[in-house]
Structure 1
Amino acid sequence: MDPHIKAMIDQAEAAAAGQPAPPLDAIPPEMIRAGYRMQRAAQNLNAPKDVEARDLQVDGADGPIGARLYTPAGAPAKTPGLVYFHGGGFAIGDLESHDGHCRRLASFAGIRVLAVDYRLAPEHPFPAGHDDALASVKWVFDHAAEIGFDPARIAVGGCSAGGNLAASVSIDLKNDPKRKLAFQLLLYPGIWPDEETQSRKDLDGPILTKAAIAWFDKCLAVGDHPQAARANIGAKADVAGTPPALVVTAGYDPLKDEGRDYAARLNAAGVKASHVEYSDLVHDFYLMGDVSPAITAAAKETAAALKAALG
């Protein structure tokens, strides 16, 4: 494991020693969200400053939702664009928790990034977040000129649960001739496959624990919903015809096997997909920019791949 990340984890475990945490079900979701927001913001104090961030509203499935547009310094009037969905198990995370990460993507890739504040479970169970993600991407295509996006070079992306949303939207839009996605950026995506992967069985943390995954599942409440396949992107999902992809996984992440397997499924379906694994990093690492130089290096490599894909 990266020594800087290991030191962070060891310090957190030492501070929590002898103080058993209450079960997640006993904590109001807003308190969990606030803690996550503060922790991740504190780990990104040195995110690039040469990026303009402007809050706006886009269409969600049930009315306007918040979004934040990141424009790198010196950007021309029109650039490729990335619609980005934050992680957090569909239940936590927001524009603030992922602000530093989105700034790095915009700055390092030299493109505009639009982060979407989709509705969260459990207050808004499945498929609210997926419906918002789809509606927001449609809004971007319809308003590309207003936000400086080149409509021929629009990508979707996300980390963890946000990677699920990006993959789901890519499937939803693959036959839409008016909204042709150019790329999908899937960062340690939660695919929720048909069968539990070996890495989900073997790994209980760090960062993403079995208890957290169970709580996220309970909050999302997919169950036997008739549209469950939009979240549980199992082997029956028809991924042929979706845009080219980059799938990034981390060596110390319960989700690593499903990300690797999804990249293989895309390639098997004729979709050009690359898979990169950072073997010494952990789940959520892109949001820990100040913790280790390895994270900035990975962010630059990811941004370079995104820039190359969008031209």
Structure 2
Amino acid sequence: MTTDFTSIPLVHTIPGAADIAVERHHYATEHGPLGFDLYRPHQQNTSAPVVVFVSGLPDPGVVALLGKPLKDWASYVGWARMVAATGIAGVTYLNREPGDVVALVQHLRDHAGQLGLDPARIAIWACSGNVPTALGLLARERFSCAALLYGYMLDLDGATAVADAARQYHFAVPPVGLDDLPRDVPLLLVRAGRDVTPGLDVTLRRFAVAARARGLPVTVLDHLEAPHAFDLVDDSPATRDAIEQVLAFLRRELL
């Protein structure tokens, strides 16, 4: 039997997350409108900060292979609801290609007043093969912070592990180098110590060392006993603590 990763819920949630409702909206791209979902905090009286959950995969391919786009996976819904339960809006979205996220972010900034969002407090969250797209976004747009979980990073010093994985798993790798990243945007890197995804752990560790050497504000959260996608598959106290630490990082930088 094949595991349906699209329907696996997170192993941890927080009070109030299940009660968060979703609003359906659209943003414009050069190839026509696409949908996005806004998970709004309860009792919002002012413009809310927002976390965008970044996808590095084209949704047409994801749907053809797995039946539903990333924004509708149980884990993405779970993260967006948890973020909203902490007082931060969550946004998940459809794309035709990973680069559509640039148009989404611009839409959120341009329509922040109508949406009840604060355009000066936008963060990004990404995991696994979606992280290179998030890094590309960091290189061209201004954000308050980024949480990057068990992800492929950048190929450094002639390495090809990320490019090799991208060909295998079909995720996007924008042409971005370490020097293109801002030096004043806090980055949280969450490392799964038992991640055996080919080439991933070495790229994450190399990135952390090189980023710190260049003065980027990088924090590494080592979940030493965790496998890849631990938030879906490792129901343990350490995983619950790691999820809470990600939420605490976002609260600290955005609220």
TM-score (norm 1): 0.66
Paired with 1:267 and 1:259, the residues of 2 have a C-alpha distance of 12
The counterpart of 2:90, out of the listed 103, 113, 119, is: 113
Query: How large is the Cα RMSD of the aligned pairs?
Result: 3.1
> Which residues in structure 2 correspond to 1:1-311 (within 5 Å)?
35-38=4-7, 40-41=8-9, 48-86=17-55, 92=62, 94-97=70-73, 98-107=76-85, 109-119=86-96, 128-129=97-98, 131-173=99-141, 180-193=142-155, 194-196=158-160, 215-216=168-169, 219-220=170-171, 230=174, 233-234=176-177, 237-241=179-183, 243-253=185-195, 254=197, 255-288=200-233, 291-311=235-255
Paired with 2:12 and 2:89, the residues of 1 have a C-alpha distance of 21
The letter for the 2-side match of 1:140 is: L
Is the contact between residue 38 and residue 90 of structure 2 (CA under 8 Å) also seen in structure 1? yes
Paired with 2:30 and 2:240, the residues of 1 have a C-alpha distance of 35
Larger radius of gyration: 1
Distance 1:141 1:63, change over 3 A: same
| 88-97 vs 151-160, which moves further | 88-97
- Where does the alignment leave 5 or more consecutive residues of structure 1 unmatched? 1-15, 22-31, 120-127, 174-179, 201-209, 223-227
**Alpha-carbon deviations, 1:201-258, whole Å to 9, x = none?**
xxxxxxxxx9x86531xx35x7xxxxx6x15x555x5224462211111112232332
Is the contact between residue 240 and residue 270 of structure 1 (CA under 8 Å) also seen in structure 2? no
**Alpha-carbon deviations, 1:30-54, whole Å to 9, x = none?**
xx9xx3323x24x569772131212
In structure 2, the residue corresponding to 1:263 is in which secondary structure? helix
Distance 1:88 1:63, change over 3 A: closer
**Aligned counterpart, 2:66:** none
Paired with 2:41 and 2:140, the residues of 1 have a C-alpha distance of 29
In structure 1, the residue corresponding to 2:71 is in which secondary structure? coil
**Alpha-carbon deviations, 1:260-281, whole Å to 9, x = none?**
3323333333321111111111
Is the contact between residue 104 and residue 299 of structure 1 (CA under 8 Å) also seen in structure 2? no
In structure 2, the residue corresponding to 1:168 is in which secondary structure? helix
> By how many angstroms is 1:259 displaced?
2.3
Is the contact between residue 80 and residue 149 of structure 1 (CA under 8 Å) also seen in structure 2? yes
The letter for the 2-side match of 1:80 is: P
Seq. identity, %? 25
Is the contact between residue 71 and residue 112 of structure 1 (CA under 8 Å) also seen in structure 2? yes
Paired with 1:214 and 1:148, the residues of 2 have a C-alpha distance of 39
Paired with 1:182 and 1:86, the residues of 2 have a C-alpha distance of 18
- Where does the alignment leave 5 or more consecutive residues of structure 2 unmatched? 63-68
TM-score (norm 2): 0.78
Paired with 1:157 and 1:144, the residues of 2 have a C-alpha distance of 19
In structure 1, the residue corresponding to 2:40 is in which secondary structure? strand
In structure 2, the residue corresponding to 1:66 is in which secondary structure? strand
In structure 1, the residue corresponding to 2:139 is in which secondary structure? helix
The letter for the 1-side match of 2:242 is: A
Q: How many residues are treated as equivalent by the alignment?
A: 238
> By how many angstroms is 1:82 displaced?
1.0
